Structure 1
Amino acid sequence: MTRIAVVVGSTRPNRLAPAVARWVLGVAATRPGAVHELLDVADFDLPLYDEPWPAMVGSYEGAHTRRWADAVASYDGFVVVTGEYNHGPPAALKNALDYLYAEWNDKPIGFVGFGGAGGARAVEQLRLNSIELRMAPVAASVGLVSATDFASHTEIAPTAGRDAQVHTLLDQVETWARALASVRGGGITASPVAR
């Protein structure tokens, strides 16, 4: 069964991302053919990148890194929920992406952004990051706007049509997850990195 993680990409107190992720999971629960689970960056207590080698080397010394690597490796694709901080993604999310390399490779990634401009600028930066991680960012995304998709800027209240956007996003992530399974299992690996 295809496993898709809905990633909560912020760690601050009073964050909105978990509520947005629960909404995405609620929509996903109506779909057959894939398992969708919450993967919260905050649950892993990742410090600023502290491994002695670049992630591309794949030599992880920290227990926190190995735990994060095991979690990410267990999924076939990802839907990242991200707010927008100063026209970019939360630092904790970028840090979590940077911790790993091979565990992200050849897997699709989609985005649900939120904020004043629907998280669009954070999502565009994350698309570039994901390409460098040898991921396949899908075309569809969802952009929730603070003024219209949240009640009093604190509770998610998606406008009409947003559920359909999530379905389109999940269609693409799930399709690519199945298509890329043969690449992940076919022995195609990253080039070795000289230390």
Structure 2
Amino acid sequence: MIRIGIILGSTRPNRNGEQVASWVHDTASRRTDAEFEVIDLRDHPLPHLDEPLGAMHGDYQHAHTREWAATIASFDGFVMVTPEYNRSTSGVLKNALDYLYAEWNGKAAGFVSYGVVGGARAAEQLRLICGALQMATVSHQVTLSLMTEFENYTTLKPAEHSAAALDTLLDQVVAWSTALAPLRAASRAVAA
């Protein structure tokens, strides 16, 4: 069965992302075509890129990096839940992506973003980063405006169109993760 990680890309106190990731997981867990699990970056405290070698080498020196690599390697695709900070994604999510390379390759990614204008710019930045990591990003994305889909800017109240968009995004992530399985298998065979 395809495994999809829902990466909660904020570690801030009082973060809105926790509600968003829970909503994505609750919606996804009703499906029978994949398994879904939330990956909370709070559970993976990664110092700011402290590996002595670049991620392309795959020679991880620190236990926290090896644990992060094992977590990411166990999934076939991802839904990244990202806030938009200063027209980009969060530093903690960018750092988590930069820590690894091969573990991201050949996997699909979709984006659920939130912010004053829905976080669309953060998702677009993530598309560039994921492309460099040899990930296939799906075209559909969910953008949640703090102005219209959060009561008092803090309580998530997704609109019907956002729920429909999430279903389409999940369809695409599962389909692409399934289609990319032979590519991931070939990469693992070469690495072994």
State the 4+ residue runs in structure 1 displaced beyond 6 angstroms: none
How many residues end up aligned between the 2 structures?
A: 191
- The AA in structure 1 aligned to 2:180 is L
Counterpart for residue 117 of structure 1: 117
Counterpart for residue 102 of structure 1: 102
Counterpart for residue 193 of structure 1: none
- The AA in structure 1 aligned to 2:137 is P
For residues 29-81 of structure 1, the C-alpha deviation after alignment (integer angstroms, 9 at most, x for no partner) is 22111001000111111000000100011000000000100000000000000
What's the offset of the Cα at 1:17?
0.7
What's the offset of the Cα at 1:189?
8.4
For residues 1-51 of structure 1, the C-alpha deviation after alignment (integer angstroms, 9 at most, x for no partner) is 100001000111111111100001111122111001000111111000000
Match of 1:60, SS state, is coil
What's the offset of the Cα at 1:159?
1.1
> Are residue 89 (structure 1) and residue 89 (structure 2) matched?
yes
Mapped to 1, the partners of 2:179 and 2:95 lie a distance apart of 28
- The AA in structure 2 aligned to 1:162 is S
The alpha-carbon distance between structure 1 residues 187 and 87, as it changes in their structure 2 partners (threshold 3 A), is closer
- The AA in structure 2 aligned to 1:71 is T
Mapped to 1, the partners of 2:54 and 2:135 lie a distance apart of 18
Q: Normalising to structure 1: TM-score of the pair?
A: 0.95
- The AA in structure 2 aligned to 1:163 is A
Counterpart for residue 43 of structure 1: 43
Match of 2:142, SS state, is strand
Counterpart for residue 24 of structure 1: 24
What's the offset of the Cα at 1:164?
1.1
Counterpart for residue 184 of structure 1: 184
Alignment of 1:164-175 (within 5 A): 164-175=164-175
In structure 1, list runs of 5 or more residues that go unmatched.
Answer: 191-195
> Are residue 33 (structure 1) and residue 33 (structure 2) matched?
yes
- The AA in structure 1 aligned to 2:140 is A
In structure 2, list runs of 5 or more residues that go unmatched.
Answer: none
Q: CA RMSD in A?
A: 1.4
- The AA in structure 1 aligned to 2:136 is A
What's the offset of the Cα at 1:188?
7.4
Mapped to 2, the partners of 1:180 and 1:106 lie a distance apart of 6
Match of 1:168, SS state, is helix
The alpha-carbon distance between structure 1 residues 89 and 187, as it changes in their structure 2 partners (threshold 3 A), is closer
- The AA in structure 2 aligned to 1:42 is R
Mapped to 2, the partners of 1:89 and 1:186 lie a distance apart of 31
